[in-house]
Structure 1
């Protein structure tokens, strides 16, 4: 399988200027300015195979957007090597842009005052898409994203959810093999998010489209991606399977019990277990919650001990969310 993205020792540095204090300092700044070199992306390495859906995540300022801008040819790297779809994104810009689609949640590629379909026609000309290719491919995209009724409306009259669906369609006019999505579901309601997620899964399966997803919405990651690349202060701190990340960093699991009869916390705390369980009572839902280390043996032993002593009405196992896992990693570090 070929690689859609190859990044080797990629680095991007910026100059950070500082001002001197006082009037004298201001005059000195006119002649010479103090600055320091700040690496936004710090010698990172990763590859993305064709057809993969990869989440590229990190806190604000971690270097995600800078990486995306280098991968799409907007920024030139300070050092290192980038190959995307077999090309140098910066040096082969014109040829390269015909092989990618980009959706920035905060920026629009549609013209604000003209109808959506006119924007589509302009982009069709830009990408030199034939009438036949456009009709075959975009007919399916328009139907799946349910944007047919929006085509004759100016972009400025669309809601955020409607505009984002049209932005996604616009990025796919030339059916690119690689799609960059930067916060594609930001601010959208649940139904629109679900529609976009289902559509992305479909184009990945149908066309083997490679997708690199940058998002703060961890629901998007769990719904779409098997692999996560996590960035912190310009360095990759994790690159691997989402499931492995959850298994290694999900420190605790919650087991929720509802009992047929009243049970005292002291009775639960005195259960014969080979590990510690922290019991709490949720008065609102009338459930007892046991927090234990996330190990399968512990879960089975706890449930067996409870069942042998009490009559159970219901039991639920609460998985640690990916959001909690990511928070743990940033708070404690990978080491």
Structure 2
């Protein structure tokens, strides 16, 4: 147990090690991962282990707020700023003063709000909608997304300067299919939670059901597992827990998930090949006029990130010294 995060897999432990390192700092964190992997739990764990833990943790789902209201939601508004603004309203940044603000689905922010957020990150101040007074923002920002922000930057739907400001300390959460050894622990955890809520006693887990749960690819990740366990507890009429196999037989989704995974592997292999060729031509140099980043036409930081994620040893392309 680590701040309600359940698991012992190496993939999860690697994430928690990064959480432990960044939590005591005030650095901006960008949490990435598929939907349902528990990005908000990671954000809350960072907040609870920070010096700001006694102050507010304010969560905002940027995709759930209408585009024309998101600026007011984040930064507040003055009376009369727009139709329906009958009084001054404090935004989420002011409510999170001294604490942490969690911006989920950050990739859905409209362009004009991206500019305002960039100002907060750069200058630590903002203005309410309809106002002209600068307000200081003593707030730590943790952002999250299940989108590929690199691709969004390339498509000009997300500002590159904002991406670099958010991507100070990236944490990528692995999907559940990459941490299968955690599934039995998660199953026990959720059975205990929902059995107590339902006033039921469940003492055993059907082995076939557990094998099914571990074999399933979980396209909806932990959120989907949680829903299946809750539904199973509700219909369970004995002390022996089991799962209806038909709930886990959505082959089209499983096939689609496998197809996407295979495509990702192929794309990564092609990227690695292109980057290694550029590094070879530039004798291992990443930046500078003759560096690989210039040859590829991408920012140095993007290339460095790709080199790390693809586990490329750039040193082997450098010429041997005497």
Query: TM-score, length-normalised on structure 1?
Result: 0.39
TM-score (norm: length of structure 2):
0.40
Structure with higher strand content: 1
- Computing the radius of gyration over CA atoms, which structure comes out larger, 1 or 2? 1
